Amino acid sequence: MVVYKTPYCGCCKGWVTHMTRAGFSPTINELEDLAPVRSRYGVPFTLSSCHTAVIGGYVVEGHVPPADVMRLLREKPKALGLTVPGMPIGSPGMEIPNGSAERFETLLLLDRSGRTQVFATHGA
C-alpha cells in the first residue's frame, strides 16, 4: 500500500495507524498537492478526502475502514477503488474523545466519470 498525504495532516497519520494495525504495510509519500494523484487514479474532487492510497491496482480515497479495503482486495470488483468522501467523525483516523461517530458510507468508485455505489455503511 502506497499512501499519498500532505506533511501536515494528523488524521492521515491516524488512518495509517489503523491500516498498519490491520496488517497492511503502508509506504508514505508526502506531497504538498494531492490533486495530481487523485487525477491520475480517477478520483473526482467531489469524492475526495485528505489522503489517497493505492493497493492491489485499486485507489483508496480517504478514511476507508481497513475491513472495507480487505473486502475490496478479496472480492476484486471491476472498479477503480473505494472512497469515503470528506472526513466523517468516527471514521478511522477521525475519532473523537467521546467516541461518537456519524453515519458514513464507503463508496465503490466505479469509473472515472464519478459513478459510485454503496459498498458499506458505518457509524450511528
pLDDT of residue 100: 87
51 pLDDT more than 80: yes
pLDDT value at 124 more than 80 = no
- Cα Rg, the chain, nearest whole Å: 13
Q: What is the pLDDT of residues 81-120, one digit of tens each?
A: 999 999 999 999 999 999 888 999 999 999 989 999 999 9
- Tell me what percent of the residues of the chain surpass a pLDDT of 90: 90
CB contact at 8 A, 30 and 9: no
The pLDDT of residue 9 is: 87
Which alpha helices (DSSP H) does the chain contain, by range? 10-21, 35-41, 66-75
Of 8-12, 58-62, 70-74, the poorest mean pLDDT is in 8-12
Instruction: Check pLDDT > 90 for residue 11.
Output: no
CA-CA-CA-CA torsion sign (13, 17, 19, 23)? positive
Longest CA span, the chain:
38
The three grid cell numbers given for residue 35, joined into one nine-digit string: 490533486
Report whether pLDDT(36) > 90: yes
